[in-house]
Amino acid sequence: MDRPARPAAAPAGLRARWLVAGLVAVVGTLVAGVALGPVSLPPGSVALELLNLLPGVRLESGLTEREIAIVTELRLPRVVLGLLVGGLLALAGGCYQGVFRNPLADPYLLGVAAGAGLAVTAAIALGAGGEPGRLPMTVPLAAFVGALGAVLMTYLLGSAGGRGRSPATLILAGVAVSAFLSAGQTYLLQRNADSIQQVYSWLLGRLATAGWGDVRLVLPYFVVTVVVVLLHRRELDVLSLGDDEAGSLGLHPQRSRYLLIAAASLGTAAAVSATGLIGFVGIIVPHTVRLLAGSSYRVILPLSLLFGGAFLALTDVVARTAAAPGEVPIGVVTALLGGPFFVLVLRTARRMLA
């Protein structure tokens, strides 16, 4: 019974090296995201100005007052929001894949994002949207309820086929649930035409932010999600052995599963409420980490958090520079990258089950 746990121990030796790589990716993306834009700034000067934000540090960056304002008030909040949201979506994707033991599980494909989106639309339509472009603290809570409802519907529908179902069955159930919830969202928008502009601004996925308000909105949910998921990441390796084996090792499979689903759904809800529907991050990043660093969730989840944030922040740089001075919705860019990647993962999963 000890033998199945041994393969998971091998990637642990690689974690220090990959952890450094993840931190370097986050810092490099942070500097690049702040430096690049309609007004390009020297990366070295940007790095010095970012260091000036640390307590007790005062360096001469060579930037003007206007450029410093661009760095600290416009671009930095947007990049930090991208790091938080990307980390949440990638972490949730890896968590769902472990909980459902399904390599195709993803917040977007499971219908979780659609459920959260419907809840946000309902909150805005009922007058809880607050100021244009900003969402109050109550909206992520409503999105959390919608996300949990969606993942429950998907799981129940995917389980209706019995034990012989394929991993793709859960995804088909998620597509059906997403279509149903999207129809409800469309109905609400038609009944509340005055709210459609505010909803449409985040529907395709955008990281545009007017300041640090959105970051402060997401940060508490980010902390709770990260702490809960990372503290229980070892349990996902045990759950991969099956419920009977996990129970014999002293784990309560259902309790662990419900806790992890709740935490992942909370993070997804916070991300969706702040930036809209951004798909495929939860598939691209965890699978890339799995291929490069190992299959243990002790490795996958922390690295998905780091590389997921770097991935989305870097994707945002592409979204706002590819069609400058215009801007491409970031959800469109991730869909263009994620579509072919999803097909590759689907084919791999079918081969493994053949």
pLDDT tens, residue by residue, 328-340: 888 888 888 887 8
Residue 201 pLDDT class (50, 70, 90 cuts) = low
Indicate if the pLDDT at residue 127 is higher than 90: no
5-14, 25-34, 166-175, 249-258: lowest mean pLDDT where? 5-14
User: How many C-beta neighbours within 10 Å does residue 44 have?
Assistant: 12
Token pair recorded at residue 8: 């998971």
Indicate if the pLDDT at residue 28 is higher than 60: yes
Q: What is the mean pLDDT of the chain?
A: 82
- pLDDT of res. 21: 94
| Higher pLDDT, residue 26 or 247 | 26
Does pTM surpass 0.95?
no
The residue-averaged pLDDT of 205-230 equals: 86
| Higher pLDDT, residue 226 or 133 | 226
Token pair recorded at residue 241: 């052995």
**CATH number of the domain enclosing 224:** 1.10.3470.10
| Higher pLDDT, residue 195 or 265 | 265
The residue-averaged pLDDT of 3-8 equals: 43
CB under 8 A, 24+ apart: contacts of 314-322: 314/29, 314/32, 314/33, 315/82, 315/86, 316/33, 316/78, 316/79, 316/82, 316/207, 317/29, 317/32, 317/33, 317/36, 319/207, 320/37, 321/36, 321/37
Indicate if the pLDDT at residue 91 is higher than 50: yes
Q: How many domains does the chain have?
A: 1
Q: Which of 256, 312, 294, 253 is nearest to 107 (CA)?
A: 312
Residue 166 pLDDT class (50, 70, 90 cuts) = low
Q: How far is CA 59 from CA 51, 55, 232, in A?
A: 8, 12, 41
The residue-averaged pLDDT of 27-34 equals: 94
Residue numbers of the domain that contains 167 = 3-353
